[in-house]
Amino acid sequence: MKVYFLGTGTSQGIPVIGSDHPVCHSQDQKDKRLRVSIWVEWDNNSFVIDCGPDFRQQMLTSGCSKIDAILFTHEHSDHTTGLDDIRPFFFKQGNIPIYGHERVLKNLKKRFDYIFETENKYPGSPGVFPIEVENNVLIESHSKKIIPINAMHGDLQVFGYRFDNFAYLTDVKTIETTEINKLKNLDVLVINALREDAHNTHFNLQEALGFINIVQPKKAYLTHISHTFGFHEEIQKKLPENVFLAYDNLIINI
Ligand SMILES: [Zn+2]
Ligand SMILES: [Zn+2]
């Protein structure tokens, strides 16, 4: 299984528009972060998690030419507003399966009503095949059994996803023990860590490291990074030896 980090930034991305912050002016490519998303590939199957405003650029940069499904974590704009740009995939492949919580699918239907239209559809509009994700129900697709992981993003429910010994969770602030128990024996865990300072709806560094300590994956990668966290190189130096700061276009093989 190959995991490609399409984006590792928080909602505004890095650089932030018009920002004077030194991280936003860094010359290090690892300090340039598009909105969070990953591309997971195995045996010629291709799944993307989330589809934010940088989706088009991410597909061009990564060379992704086929999408078998998009899994949504939640409905926030930084995770969903690229949906119209699935058009080139739709033209080649037909309706694209999209997975999400019932609430997330409803929200997408409201925001992208024309995509969900079945009659009198505007020619050129993309199409999707929505599939509801329920907690404690496996997603069996393309020879994989994907386990949804339920977590809370402040008051909002979010899903993470486990593929074999790899799990991806973002926008988590709290998570129940029953869900943590679904994360045993991981080779790789990806988890959000916004910055060092506390935040109401996202793990900060300390909370993310505490979570990693409980889950005990072989390796962990941090994502959904704010410019206020600091420079990539300096943050990496502060991390335990099996914890890495993810960066855009990083590829890991599992
Ligand atoms: Zn987010
Ligand atoms: Zn969010």
Chain segment 197-238, per-residue pLDDT in tens: 999 999 999 999 999 999 999 999 999 999 999 999 999 999
Cα(181) to centroid of ligand 1, in Å? Answer: 24
Cα(70) to centroid of ligand 2, in Å? Answer: 17
- How far is it, in rounded angstroms, from Cα 6 to Cα 71? 14
pLDDT digits (tens, 9 = 90+) for 156-199: 999 999 999 999 999 999 999 999 999 999 999 999 999 999 99
Quote the pLDDT of residue 119: 87
Cα(92) to centroid of ligand 1, in Å? Answer: 29
In this structure, which ligand is nearest to the CA of 151?
Answer: 2
Cα(91) to centroid of ligand 1, in Å? Answer: 28
- Distances 239 to 68, 99, 167, 173, 196 between C-alpha atoms, Å: 35, 33, 20, 20, 12
What length does the chain have? 254
Among residues 132, 118, 176, 123, which one has the least CA distance to residue 150?
Answer: 176
In this structure, which ligand is nearest to the CA of 223?
Answer: 1
pTM over 0.95: yes
pLDDT of 120 over the 90 cut: no
* Residue 57: Cβ-neighbour burial (10 angstroms; 0-12, 13-18, 19+): middle
Q: How confident is the model at residue 143 (pLDDT cuts 50, 70, 90)?
A: very high
Cα(75) to centroid of ligand 2, in Å? Answer: 7
Q: Is the peptide bond before 15 cis (omega within 30 degrees of 0)?
A: yes
Cα(132) to centroid of ligand 2, in Å? Answer: 19
CATH homologous superfamily of 2-253: Ribonuclease Z/Hydroxyacylglutathione hydrolase-like (3.60.15.10)
In this structure, which ligand is nearest to the CA of 158?
Answer: 2
Cα(202) to centroid of ligand 2, in Å? Answer: 8
Cα(165) to centroid of ligand 1, in Å? Answer: 23
In this structure, which ligand is nearest to the CA of 192?
Answer: 1
Cα(36) to centroid of ligand 1, in Å? Answer: 7
Q: Where in the chain are the domains? A: 2-253
* Residue 152: Cβ-neighbour burial (10 angstroms; 0-12, 13-18, 19+): middle
Mean pLDDT of 104-122: 94
- How far is it, in rounded angstroms, from Cα 175 to Cα 30? 29
Cα(123) to centroid of ligand 1, in Å? Answer: 32
pLDDT of 126 over the 90 cut: yes
pLDDT of 3 over the 90 cut: yes
Mean pLDDT of 80-107: 98
Bridge partners (DSSP) of residue 156 are 153
